[in-house]
Amino acid sequence: MRKPVIAIDGYSSTGKSSISKIIAQELGLVHMDTGALYRGITYFALHNCLNNEGEINLSQLFARLNEIHLEFKPIDQELVLFLNGINISNEIRRNDVAANVSLIACQKEVRDFLLETQREIAKNGGVILDGRDIGTVVLPNADYKFFLTASIEERTRRRFLELQSLGIETDENAVMRNLINRDKIDSEREVAPLRKASDAILIDNTHLSKKETIVLILSQIDDI
């Protein structure tokens, strides 16, 4: 029996990735954090494609996309992102990556580069993907679609605590500014903007714990 394909989209710091990982474990699915792929390309660009002003040179990045090999490898029962054979799972959570990932993610060349990778992983079912355009662009025929949102204050709190746990120094005002900017860029970009699919189930988890959000999502999925 074919296992389902589940798409979870939503705003930054609504818990998409961590929630998807747990649901994947509960249902025996493979989880792919598509946002990590875009962060991986951003990390590559910051280290290899800067102009004289220290900004990302997009033309140079597009010309070097064929040098990028991203893959998820299982480590301690988790899929960890590797860039050209190097584990970058912690590096992609840094502030400089977060500040530039929306710029990279709105580029058609980058999205086309990653689109087939994502679809290839999902074609046989049994996967859960999270991102910003999974239900609308990447996997419009997914069996289940969810869209997560939460207040900017709650998302700031979550993101700040996440960065602290990784030993990354920042302040809550900077985190909030970054999130607001990402929301604007992601929602207004011409290519695959962040939006809820018409057939996705909307979940506002501002006042829900991670566990409560997971229970709510699982309640919408038929036994598999």
- Residue-level pLDDT at 77: 60
Among 102-106, 152-156, 206-210, the range scoring the smallest mean pLDDT is 102-106
Name the residue ranges covered by the structural domains of the chain. Answer: 5-218
User: Which residue carries 């798409």 as its tokens?
Assistant: 7
- Topology (CATH) of 5-218: Rossmann fold (3.40.50)
- Residue-level pLDDT at 90: 92
User: What is the residue-averaged pLDDT of the chain?
Assistant: 92
User: Does residue 196 have a pLDDT over 90?
Assistant: yes
* pLDDT tens track for 25-35: 999 998 888 88
Backbone dihedral angles phi then psi of residue 76, each to the nearest 5 degrees: 50, 45
User: Does residue 224 have a pLDDT over 80?
Assistant: no
- Residue-level pLDDT at 46: 98
* pLDDT tens track for 133-173: 999 999 999 999 999 999 999 999 999 999 999 888 889 99
User: Does residue 12 have a pLDDT over 80?
Assistant: yes
- Residue-level pLDDT at 223: 66
SS3 letters for 126-181? Answer: CEEEEECCHHHHHCCCCCEEEEEECCHHHHHHHHHHHHHHCCCCCCHHHHHHHHHH
**CB–CB of 50/56 below 8 Å?**
yes
- Residue-level pLDDT at 1: 76
Backbone dihedral angles phi then psi of residue 60, each to the nearest 5 degrees: -65, -40
Long-range contacts of 150-154 (CB under 8 A, 24+ apart): 150/11, 150/13, 150/14, 150/204, 150/205, 150/206, 151/206, 152/176, 152/179, 152/180, 152/183, 154/206
Backbone dihedral angles phi then psi of residue 108, each to the nearest 5 degrees: -60, -40
* pLDDT tens track for 52-102: 999 999 999 999 999 999 988 878 766 789 999 999 999 999 989 999 998
Query: CA 119 to CA 142: how far, in whole Å?
Result: 11
Among 9-13, 78-82, 192-196, the range scoring the smallest mean pLDDT is 78-82
